[in-house]
Amino acid sequence: MTIFHKHRDNKSLDDAQLVCRCQRGQPEAMSHLIVKYQDRVYNTIYKICQNRDDAAELTQDTFVKVLENIGTFRRESSFYTWMFRVAVNLTLNYCKRRSKLSPVSLDAENERLEQDKGKLAAMLADPNGLDPAAVAQQKELSRLIVNTIGQLGQDFRAVLVLRDIEQMSYAEIADVLQIETGTVKSRLSRARTQLRELLETVLT
């Protein structure tokens, strides 16, 4: 089980109490809330925007906006999806504005990953190959995968990150992105197909 699943198990533990205390302006509760979600928000933003500095800034913007507007949170959805809605919207708007959707040069990456050529494709194709978790932990390969995600279209990237990395359900993704569940399904399918094609292109 990944660290994300552990986070998911704890995500709603004290959310209601934390939100109430934050609404009363308690700094300790705010700190607790930030610590609880900062890594997940940061990673989601980073996977979408593809830049660590931007991700750090956007994460900070997200928590500032969430805490500033927490008084208006009406509990119509879970705090978790509400917060991610803020994060994803900020990120997508930022990426669109700065045209930083594909900041990494894949040509340079290809040269460095020449020795790993075909390794990931073979791994994907071989059911008896290495453990996928072990593959993902290889630094160069993981960086390649993240960069390839950055080549996806903005809508596909967001839905893929929320589902396959953040492990959200279809309903939660629909709530975060404010789209229909059917749209989530179709976008996710196309995102996975495009990612596989991109990885094959890069690695073969």
Partner 1 sequence: MSEKSKIEMEELLSALVDDEATERQKNEFNRLLLHDPSIAEQLAVMQRQRQILGALPVDSAPASLVRGVLSRLKRKPIPRPVPATQPTIVGAGHLFMRRVLTTAAMLLLPIGILSFVVYEIIKPPSVGPVDYPSVGGGLAQYDGSGAAGSNASVVAQSLPFDGILTFRTQKPMTVSNYAEKMIFDQGLVSVTLPNRTGDSATYQITAPPEKIAVLVDSLKDVWPHCQQVALNVVDETRDSHVDIPNVLTEQIKVLAMEDSPEMLNRLAGQYASANINKENMFARDDKPADISNDLIEMPPFTIPIPTGRNEPAVNAVDPSQPTVRLRIQVERITE
Instruction: Draw the binding track, 105-124, toward partner 1 (x: CB under 8 A; -: no contact).
Output: ------------------xx
186 is a site residue for partner 1 (CB under 8 A): yes
What lies within 8 Å, CB to CB, of 63 at 6+ separation is 33, 34, 38, 41
What lies within 8 Å, CB to CB, of 202 at 6+ separation is 106, 109, 110, 113, 144, 148
Q: What are the structure tokens assigned to 168, written together?
A: 């959200």
Q: Which of 12, 17, 31, 105 binds partner 1 (CB under 8 A)?
A: 31
Q: Can you tell me the distance from the alpha carbon of 64 to that of 68, in angstroms, rounded to the nearest whole number?
A: 6
- In angstroms, give the least distance from the CB of 76 to partner 1: 9
Q: Which of 101, 104, 106, 146 binds partner 1 (CB under 8 A)?
A: 146
Q: What are the structure tokens assigned to 187, written together?
A: 């976008």
Q: What are the structure tokens assigned to 167, written together?
A: 């492990």
Residue with smaller CB distance to partner 1, 54 or 92: 54
Instruction: Cite the DSSP H helix spans in 69-180.
Output: 79-98, 106-112, 119-125, 132-137, 139-149, 154-160, 170-177
Query: Looking at 9-17, 91-99, 104-112, 162-170, which segment touches partner 1 (CB under 8 A)?
Result: 162-170
Number of Cβ within a 10 Å radius of residue 61? 16
Instruction: Draw the binding track, 55-74, toward partner 1 (x: CB under 8 A; -: no contact).
Output: -x--xx--xx--xxxxxxxx
Q: Can you tell me the distance from the alpha carbon of 33 to that of 16, in angstroms, rounded to the nearest whole number?
A: 11
83 is a site residue for partner 1 (CB under 8 A): no
- In angstroms, give the least distance from the CB of 20 to partner 1: 8
Residue with smaller CB distance to partner 1, 3 or 13: 3
Contact footprint for partner 1 (CB under 8 A) = 2-4, 20, 22-25, 27, 30-31, 34-35, 38-39, 41-43, 46-47, 52, 56, 59-60, 63-64, 67-75, 123-125, 127, 132-133, 135-137, 139, 142, 145-146, 149, 160, 163-165, 167, 170, 185-186, 188-190, 192-193, 195-196, 199
